[in-house]
Amino acid sequence: MKTKSTILIIIGAVAAILLLNGVYILDETKQAIVTQFGRPVGEPRTEPGLNFKVPFLHKVQFFDKRYLEWDGDKNQVPTKDKKFIFVDSYARWEITNPLQFFIRLRDERSAQSRLDDILDGETRNAVASHDLLDLVRSSNRDPEVTEDFMEEIEILEDISVGRAIIEKIVLEKANERTADLGVRILDFRFKRMNYVDEVRDRVYDRMISERLRIADQFRSEGQGEARIIEGNKERDLAQIQSEAFKLAEEIKGRADAEATDIYASAYNRNRQAVDLYKFLRTMESFEKSMDENTSLILSSDSEFFKYLRRLN
């Protein structure tokens, strides 16, 4: 009895092991192929759910069904117009045929390495075939003027291709080279572009000199405005002082004229009083010094004669 139970237990354990090894679950994010001694067996399994295989004989290779990331290395590349720049790019890709992918690349690590060769090579070709302006701009446009000092900025040169079209060209050519690898590149973008250190230093120096030129322009315009304001101030001050001096002189002239009139009027009144006083005193002296028998002989040069004549 014990022997029979032991046999049943052993059979059950073996059946469980065979069942566990002969069944695998495929979730929504994965796809798989079954291999036998390293060679694919049957069609790829892409639908999620429970799947079966031959225990111990078959092995399952899982591959990601989601979009995968490729991040390129920053490379120094010369443009068509002989400007050396660093180019950093990225892409998104997916495994479209897991069987072909397994045959050609085996795993995702090998795929990333193969994509490095393909995408970096196509990036270099695209950069070397186009000018820098086409790589950094996507369309022809007029520069937006946000400050008054930018009104004299030069018109941007027209581009013939543009960044978006170059990225599309790289994507198309890369997909042509990956068509037999079981993968498809979904999107390709330039993540960053920059001058090499030597060129970047010259660009920064030129930017600094341009800003200094703008600062000097502001400074000179400010100094010119200051000179105009100071000149207007001096002119207005001289005009105000001149008008004030003119008005003061007119007031002084009128005051002097009025004072002269007052002095003249007072002098004329005093002169008449003096003449009357002299006349009265002279009459009094004549009255005291002469009588009815006195005869007075006056020469034409005498003061009294002149006074009498003036009274007449």
Q: Is the confidence at residue 11, as pLDDT, over 70? A: no
Q: What is the pLDDT of residues 47-73, one digit of tens each?
A: 888 887 878 788 888 999 999 999 988
pLDDT class of 129 with cuts at 50, 70, 90 = very high
Q: Provide the percentage of residues in the chain whose pLDDT is more than 70.
A: 75
Rounded distance between C-alpha atoms, residue 211 and residue 284, angstroms: 107
Rounded distance between C-alpha atoms, residue 91 and residue 118, angstroms: 12
pLDDT (0 to 100) of residue 140: 77
pLDDT class of 279 with cuts at 50, 70, 90 = low
Which of the two residues, 210 and 266, has the higher pLDDT score? 210
Rounded distance between C-alpha atoms, residue 186 and residue 189, angstroms: 10
pLDDT (0 to 100) of residue 207: 82
pLDDT (0 to 100) of residue 267: 59
Helix (H) or strand (E) holding 50: strand 49-52
Of 21-30, 101-110, 302-311, which one has max mean pLDDT?
Answer: 101-110
Length of the chain: 312
Domain ranges of the chain: 2-64, 68-142+150-195, 221-290
Q: Is the confidence at residue 286, as pLDDT, over 80? A: no
Q: Is the confidence at residue 288, as pLDDT, over 80? A: no
What's the rounded mean pLDDT across residues 253-270? 73
State pTM to two decimals.
Answer: 0.60
- Pairing relationship of beta strands 68-71 and 84-95 according to DSSP bridges: antiparallel
Rounded distance between C-alpha atoms, residue 181 and residue 114, angstroms: 9
Which of the two residues, 14 and 182, has the higher pLDDT score? 182
Question: Of the CATH numbers 3.20.10.10, 3.90.1150.10, 3.20.20.70, 3.30.479.30, which one belongs to the domain with range 68-142+150-195?
Answer: 3.30.479.30
Distances 126 to 162, 173, 178, 289 between C-alpha atoms, Å:
11, 10, 17, 145
Rounded distance between C-alpha atoms, residue 291 and residue 310, angstroms: 25
Q: Which three-class secondary structure state does DSSP give residue 92?
A: strand
Strand segments (E) across 196-241: none
